[in-house]
Amino acid sequence: MKKVTINSVASHAGVSKKTVSRVLNNEPNVSAATREKVLAVFKELDYTPNPIARGLAQNRSFIIGCLYDNPSKSYITRVQTGALEACKENNYNLLIHPCEFRGEALINNIEQLLQTSRLDGIVLTPPFGDFAELVAFLKSKKIPYARVASALLQDDSISVRSNDEQGAFEITEHLINLGHKSIAFIKGHPDHSATQQRFKGYRRSLASHGIEFDERLVEEGNFSYHSGVDSARSILDLSPRPTAVFASNDYMAAAVLKLATQRQLKVPDDISIAGFDNAPIARHIWPGLTTIAQPVEEMTKQAVTQLISHIAQPQEQPYQVTLESRLITRESTSAIK
């Protein structure tokens, strides 16, 4: 069985392949009769255009690459969901590329990626949007990119983020307003710019209430559940024990909750626990976690939408947006007794 190409269709229909190309792309300037004839031959021969050939001629692939390296699986899932929505609306497809390396190895890895698949653009999810080396590399290769949840930059790139500092401030305010003064804090992954932002918000809230910052209440996590367990152990061993814990994401908060419960502590009566992200786990456990809802899907969707429109029209304005996050109170926090 011979492969059916634009040429077979053209000869079957008795027209030039340019005309076939016209009906394929819904271009004007084709008589209704010709169009129908060609359409009929499409059906008859069961013709599907070859996207690679189209790609070569147009120099594009209609594929966006999504880079990530994130210990929180649910965060990745949400990123993908948003990216996929944007792709779907624009007839693009999404290629996913986790990569665990930093520095030199990372650049080689991306170079390899670009050598095996042509990508029209790349979404950089945390922490990649903050890797200056990588961003410079993409610029030098003239690969369009968009940054999600990265630090603000005064450049011309596409960037969508949410206000981590403000979110952390608000959730700390919530705890302080409940009467808590001894509030432990678990940091996120050091490479993520959100980590510093959330820490800042926590400190700003403490300061605004005249509560002295206490270093002993701060633990270094990395956004993984496992790191939350380790941090929780240290925190619960403190004496006096803090009356509340604010973990930089919900996975780590869930770990604190589990460990506290195992140790026969009542949450929130004995200790209040707050997270960040509003990941699914925040409502899948009991008590449900008080947290900050971050619009991860929406951030990524906007970033990819802008990226795609930038690919089509590179002269557009840079798009830099900061979305709002909001406090969600559940059962894991309560007034101090």
Partner DNA sequence: CTGAAAGCGCTTACAG
The residues binding DNA (CB under 7 A) are 3, 5-7, 15-19, 21-22, 24-25, 28-31, 33-35, 47-50, 53-54, 56-59
Q: Which of 31, 48, 264, 317 binds a copy of itself (CB under 8 A)?
A: 48
**Smallest distance, Å, CB 249 to DNA?**
43
Q: Are the C-beta atoms of 150 and 197 separated by less than 8 Å?
A: no
Total residues binding a copy of itself (CB under 8 A)? 48
**Is residue 28 reached through a cis peptide bond, with omega within 30 degrees of 0 on the bond before it?**
no
21 contact, one of DNA, a copy of itself, none, CB 5-8 Å limit per kind: DNA
Assigned token pair, 266: 């009542």
16 contact, one of DNA, a copy of itself, none, CB 5-8 Å limit per kind: DNA
- Give the residue from 93, 69, 72 showing the smallest Cα distance to 83: 93
206 or 267: whose CB is closer to a copy of itself?
Answer: 267
92 contact, one of DNA, a copy of itself, none, CB 5-8 Å limit per kind: a copy of itself
**Smallest distance, Å, CB 13 to a copy of itself?**
19
Q: What is the DSSP code string of 112-152?
A: HHHHHS--SEEEE-TTGGG-HHHHHHHHHTT--EEEES---
109 or 196: whose CB is closer to a copy of itself?
Answer: 109
- Under the binding rule (CB under 8 A), the answer on residue 25 touching a copy of itself is no
**Smallest distance, Å, CB 273 to a copy of itself?**
13
Q: What is the Cα–Cα distance from 302 to 265, expressed in whole angstroms?
A: 42
**Smallest distance, Å, CB 121 to a copy of itself?**
15
**Smallest distance, Å, CB 286 to a copy of itself?**
4
Assigned token pair, 41: 């031959």
58 or 239: whose CB is closer to a copy of itself?
Answer: 58
DSSP state of 154: S
Q: What is the Cα–Cα distance from 136 to 132, expressed in whole angstroms?
A: 6
Q: Are the C-beta atoms of 24 and 53 separated by less than 8 Å?
A: no
**Smallest distance, Å, CB 12 to DNA?**
13
Q: What is the Cα–Cα distance from 131 to 222, expressed in whole angstroms?
A: 17
Q: What is the Cα–Cα distance from 120 to 161, expressed in whole angstroms?
A: 22
For residue 97, list its beta bridge partners. Answer: 67
Q: Are the C-beta atoms of 275 and 250 separated by less than 8 Å?
A: yes
Q: What are the two backbone dihedrals, phi and then psi, of residue 326, each rounded to the nearest 5 degrees?
A: -145, 150
- Collapse the DSSP code of 66 into the 3-class scheme (helix H, G, I; strand E, B; otherwise coil) and give the result: strand
Residue 48's identity, in one-letter code, is T
Assigned token pair, 96: 């996913």
Q: Select from 30-38, 151-159, 168-176, 254-262 the region that touches a copy of itself (CB under 8 A).
A: 254-262
6 contact, one of DNA, a copy of itself, none, CB 5-8 Å limit per kind: DNA
25 contact, one of a copy of itself, DNA, none, CB 5-8 Å limit per kind: DNA
**Smallest distance, Å, CB 47 to DNA?**
7
Give the contact letters, 103-132, x = binds to a copy of itself (CB under 8 A), - = no: --------xxxxxxxx--------------
Interface positions with a copy of itself (CB under 8 A)? 48-53, 55-56, 59, 61-63, 73-74, 76-77, 80, 84, 91-98, 111-118, 141, 225, 251, 254-255, 257-258, 261-262, 280-281, 284-286
